[in-house]
Chains A and B, each alone.
Chain A
Amino acid sequence: MTVEEIINIVLLTMLALTAVGIARLRNLFAVTMLSGIYSLLSASIFVVLDAVDVAFTEAAVGAGITTVLLLGTLMLTDREARDGSRANRAGAMIVVVALGGALFYATLDPMMPRFGDPRTPAQTHVAPQYLKDTVPQGSSKEPVKVGIPNVVTTVLASYRGYDTLGETVVIFTAGIAVLLLLGQRRRRRRDTPGQNPSGNKDADRAAGAED
Chain B
Amino acid sequence: MFWAAMIGILVALALALVRAIAGPTVYDRILAVNSFGTLTVLALSVIGFLMGRPDFLDIALVYALINFIGTIAVLKFLRYGDFARATQADDNDLV
* A interface with B by C-beta (< 8 Å): 3-4, 7, 10, 14, 17-18, 21, 25, 27, 29-30, 33-34, 36-37, 40-41, 43-44, 47-48, 52, 55-56, 59-60, 63-64, 67-68, 71-72, 74-75, 190, 195-196, 202-203, 206-207
Contact = CB atoms under 8 A, between A and B. Distances in A.
A49 to B, nearest CB: 11
Contacts of A64: 66, 69-70
Contacts, number: 103
B47 A17 contact: no
> Which size bracket describes the interface of B in this complex?
35 or more
Given A3-B50, A36-B70, A67-B74, A21 B62 contact: no
Interface of B: 6, 10, 13-14, 17, 20-21, 23, 26, 29-30, 32-33, 36-37, 40, 43-44, 47, 50-51, 56, 59, 62-63, 66-67, 69-70, 73-74, 77, 81-83, 93-95
B63 A30 contact: no
B58 to A, nearest CB: 9
A45 to B, nearest CB: 10
20 contacts: A10-B10, A33-B20, A33-B33, A33-B74, A36-B37, A36-B70, A40-B37, A43-B40, A43-B63, A44-B43, A44-B47, A52-B59, A63-B67, A68-B83, A71-B74, A72-B83, A75-B81, A195-B94, A203-B93, A203-B94
Contacts of B29: 29-30, 33
Nearest to A205: B93
B77 A71 contact: yes
Contacts of A202: 93
B32 A33 contact: yes
Contacts of B23: 27, 30
Given A7-B47, A36-B33, A40-B36, A47 B81 contact: no
A3 B2 CA distance: 11
Contacts of B73: 67-68, 71
Given A4-B51, A47-B56, A71-B77, A196 B70 contact: no
B66 to A, nearest CB: 4
B20 A30 contact: yes
